[in-house]
Amino acid sequence: MGKTVLAKFSKEQLRDFIAQNNEQKFRADQIFSWIWAKNAKSFDDMTDIKKEFREFLKENCEIIDVKIKKRQISKDSTVKYLVQFSDGLCAECVLMRFDNRSNLSMCVSTQVGCKMGCKFCATGKNGFKRNLLAYEIVSQILLAQIDTGLKITNVVFMGQGEPLDNYENVIQALELINKNLQISIRRITLSTSGIVDKIYDLSKQELVPTLAISLHAPNHKIRELIMPIEKKYDILSLKKALCDFCLATKDRVTIEYILISGLNDTKECAQELCEFLKDIKCNINLIPYNPVSDENNFKKPSKYDMMKFKYILEASGKKVTIRLERGADIDAACGQLAGKAD
Ligand code: SAH
Ligand code: SF4
């Protein structure tokens, strides 16, 4: 039999486990805090637990069974981890600071691979392997905390996979991040390619993260060219869902828009996008296309073209940012995560 993995337990389950092993229940709270708040690397770090019990824990338990298989550090200090789950499959997650504010953000994966097949993204290229469990999603954050000894302050569901295609596990993961890691739901952002039914479901949850939408086109015709999901949930049904989401949650959504030279970055596209977004309470995040090896020959626009696109949108009164490119030299930027072991 394998060792008992303590990070899989809720506080209540940990209390039961400790009681079954004839220790006082308050030990569970100490251990819980060592794991989730104090980044213990091993049971030896848990100095307020008496030695005999630590020995018992060492023999029979492990803190976490997800491992760091590889760590890469970018010139801009972005860190990419390749993590390996207990069945041997791997996924990537990325640690970074956004916009030079005092935060430490973790970008987590929700699936090994992705079914959505967006033309510009490396994740879908290797097909889909499986959904990650809630514990496996949260363990990416925990591992980074243990590895760095730092507290993660923000989480973005923007790694490999489509979070709303793994709905139940993602909802549970939100709860764990909020409860165990004590990260406010306001500091959690979930990005989706636009699974309309699930956007409605999400708006009714107790914990609703900030919603980011991978729109990437101002109309059906262009979106269909680059995102197969447009065939199932078209851009107009997505628009309706976003308006309803804003009404239900009283929140603003983020519109993500990858700029691909000559395809969706023209003046006409910018004007059409302004019109499309007119009724949606949103901020816009422009993402320069990050090259991934693809057969489509997509290119990043020039800085000048990006600026013109941004100005047209800003003139419509929306807040527009251009996403800083992070970790491109280690393939950690948006869309570059492929989860390859070598
Ligand atoms: N599956 C979700 C979340 C992960 S992708 C989604 O699609 O929203 C995170 C963001 O990176 C999305 O906005 C995605 O569209 C974008 N992205 C994917 N490939 C990219 C690329 N090559 N260059 C820039 N952004 C990319
Ligand atoms: Fe999947 Fe998102 Fe990549 Fe599309 S952009 S293939 S939904 S991970």
Q: What is the pLDDT of residues 156-208, one digit of tens each?
A: 999 999 999 999 999 999 999 999 999 999 999 999 999 999 999 999 999 99
Return the SS3 of 26.
Answer: helix
Q: What confidence score (pLDDT) does residue 100 get?
A: 60
Q: What confidence score (pLDDT) does residue 25 get?
A: 86
d(CA 313, CA 140): 36
Q: Same domain for 51 and 71?
A: no
d(CA 93, CA 109): 6
Q: What confidence score (pLDDT) does residue 328 get?
A: 78
Tens of pLDDT, residue by residue over 60-110, are: 999 999 999 999 999 888 999 999 999 999 999 999 987 666 789 999 999
Question: For the chain, what percent of residues have pLDDT higher than 70?
Answer: 97
Q: Same domain for 131 and 161?
A: yes
Q: What confidence score (pLDDT) does residue 99 get?
A: 61
* pTM of structure: 0.95
Ligand 1 centroid to residue 335 C-alpha, Å: 5
193 Cβ below 6 A of ligand 2: yes
- Total domains present in the chain: 2
Please say which residue of 16, 44, 62 terminates a domain: 62
Q: Is 219 exposed, middle or buried (0-12, 13-18, 19+ CB in 10 A)?
A: middle
Within-domain flag for 340: no
Within-domain flag for 105: yes
Tens of pLDDT, residue by residue over 141-156, are: 999 999 999 999 999 9
Return the SS3 of 8.
Answer: helix
- Chain-wide mean pLDDT for the chain? 94
Q: How far is CA 203 from CA 158, 240, 278, 305, in A?
A: 19, 13, 21, 36
Ligand 1 centroid to residue 191 C-alpha, Å: 8
Question: What mean pLDDT do residues 6-27 have?
Answer: 93
The CATH number of whichever domain residue 106 belongs to comes to 3.20.20.70
* Domain range enclosing 142: 67-330
Among this protein's residues, is 334 annotated catalytic?
yes
Q: Same domain for 33 and 172?
A: no
